[in-house]
Amino acid sequence: MKLLIARMNHETNTFSPVATPLEAFGRHGPSYGEAAWRENKGMQTAMAAFIDAAEREHAQIVTPVSASANPSGPVAAAAYDAICNAIVNAAAGCDAVLLDLHGAMVAENSNDGEGDLLARVRAVLPNAPIAVALDLHGNVTQKMIDHADVIVSFKTYPHVDMYETGAHAARLLFDLIHRRARPVIAWRQPPLLTHTLRSATAEGAMKRAVDAARAAEAEGMLAVSVLSGFSLADIAAPCISVVVVGDGDRAAADAVAQRIAQQIWDERDDFFYRSAPLADSVAQAAKLAHGADKPVLLLDHGDNCMSGGTCDTMDLLEEVLKQGLEGVVSGPLCDPEAVAAMHAAGAGATVTLAVGNKLASEAVKPQRPLTVTGVIHALTDGEYTISGPTYTGQRAFMGRAAVLDIGAATLVVTERTHEPWDLGVFESVGVDPRRARFLLLKSRMYCRPVFVPIAAALVECDSRGVTSSDYGLFRFEHVERPVYPLDAGTEWKA
């Protein structure tokens, strides 16, 4: 048995000005062939689970490409074509396909990145089973449903079950191949734009929806996925979805999809997040720090790296300094110009720099950079190994990094946008985050498994960046209307 296994991951924020060329998909671009296999083998990715399952089947494995980029603006057409062509060109002669996809990719030449890829693979292999693992924030489309035999998404956010999701999808694929099961897919998509901060699976309506999905699996469905969608993609339906894989009985699968989707719609208000004014959030953090022996986390989810943020919005840092907070550690802030200037000046030098607010977008009005004076404490290549629990063991690349001490705050500045997955973001540049009084992170959720345990408290801060929870900042032109909450009177029945 010859299996095609590949990875193509990108969550596209169509409002983000951060470019997504081919080189964004890895340290210097995607990995191909044997390098793609090595990049995933032993890791916690869905593709790693595919490889392990295929090896247990003693299959011949073809790994044409592994391509994963941080969320950012629309994928360059040349990049999208290069990745898709690598997969499609390797498909001929394969008996089955396992794809590790995100589900919310938008390219310059495709509003349905995954659906268009699956259609091309299906055209080459009209009779081969295709199984797909998706991120919980995938935007499901009819084309994805039409051209896949198995679809399974993550059930956790923060995401810690990537490998388990891949193992689940692979198990169903081999059950299909060996005729132990007959997967059929049903789905529902309420017209509901969810806020990412309301897609955490440990609480609220999202937890109840995922609990319902797990219960349906326990009652006989092969797989039930609740995908909250990624609403900062201006496409037809960046909405929440329920995807059910049944065993031969499409009507039964459809009934489960209908029931869970109706439950979600009935609780739609619980998927809406209301932000506090930024000044109030900072004042709250100052109060929480009194008497605390651990840092207070301020999460700048309005400029969240893993939703396409520029990581150079200075709103939160400026407000923190305005209110007189000290003992601040902030980062990673993305500013290649500032990093270049500090590397040129050298460690120990005192410099005056304009930092941040340099990437303008149509959604958010540009601001002036923040001018700061400080001492350069460290200069590094910005590389470290993630200790977990997310993407454990993978090598992380921030681009070159520099540490600037401006007195009240220590700034970690990098050449690339980078999610604070790990304490290594700071420890790799000689900064101990545990000793901060206030820790400002360009993050929404992924930082929490690592940083919440070392913190005294957490405050969510909504700066006016391109990942803000304020939908009023964004001009949605392609979303099908009516849709909730943009249209308060939206009606729907599963």
In angstroms, rounded to a whole number, what is the distance separating the alpha carbons of residues 124 and 347? 55
Q: What is the pLDDT of residues 353-389, one digit of tens each?
A: 999 999 878 777 778 999 999 999 999 999 999 987 7
Instruction: Please report which confidence band the pLDDT of residue 204 belongs to, taking 50, 70 and 90 as the band edges.
Output: very high
Q: What is the pLDDT of residue 321?
A: 98
Mean pLDDT within 12-27: 95
Q: Where are the domains of the chain?
A: 2-271, 278-468
φ, ψ of residue 462 in degrees (nearest 5):
-105, 90
Q: What is the pLDDT of residues 113-155, one digit of tens each?
A: 999 999 999 999 999 999 999 999 999 999 999 999 999 999 9
Per-residue pLDDT for 208 more than 90?
yes
What residues contact residue 181 under an 8 Å CB cut-off, 6+ apart? 172, 175, 222, 247, 248
What residues contact residue 219 under an 8 Å CB cut-off, 6+ apart? none
CB 300 within 8 A of CB 443: yes
Q: What is the pLDDT of residue 97?
A: 98
**Which residue from 336, 427, 321, 324 is spatially nearest to 378, judged by alpha carbons?**
427
φ, ψ of residue 377 in degrees (nearest 5):
-95, -30
Instruction: Please report which confidence band the pLDDT of residue 186 belongs to, taking 50, 70 and 90 as the band edges.
Output: very high
Per-residue pLDDT for 185 more than 90?
yes
Going by the DSSP 8-state scheme, the letter that residue 276 receives in this structure is P
In angstroms, rounded to a whole number, what is the distance separating the alpha carbons of residues 397 and 331? 14
In angstroms, rounded to a whole number, what is the distance separating the alpha carbons of residues 58 and 61? 9
Q: What is the pLDDT of residue 409?
A: 98
CB 436 within 8 A of CB 327: yes
What residues contact residue 29 under an 8 Å CB cut-off, 6+ apart? 22, 23, 67
Q: Which pTM does this prediction carry?
A: 0.93
Q: What is the pLDDT of residue 92?
A: 96
Q: What is the pLDDT of residue 84?
A: 98
Q: What is the pLDDT of residue 364?
A: 77
Coil/strand/helix, residue 460: strand
Average pLDDT, the chain: 96
What residues contact residue 435 under an 8 Å CB cut-off, 6+ apart? none
Mean pLDDT within 285-295: 97
357 sits in the region (left: phi over 0; alpha: psi -120 to 50; else beta) called left
* DSSP per-residue string spanning 34-79: HHHHHHHTTSSSHHHHHHHHHHHTT-EEE--EEEE--SBSPBPHHH
Report the length, in residues, of the chain: 494
What residues contact residue 464 under an 8 Å CB cut-off, 6+ apart? 302, 313, 315, 364, 365, 470, 473
Coil/strand/helix, residue 334: strand
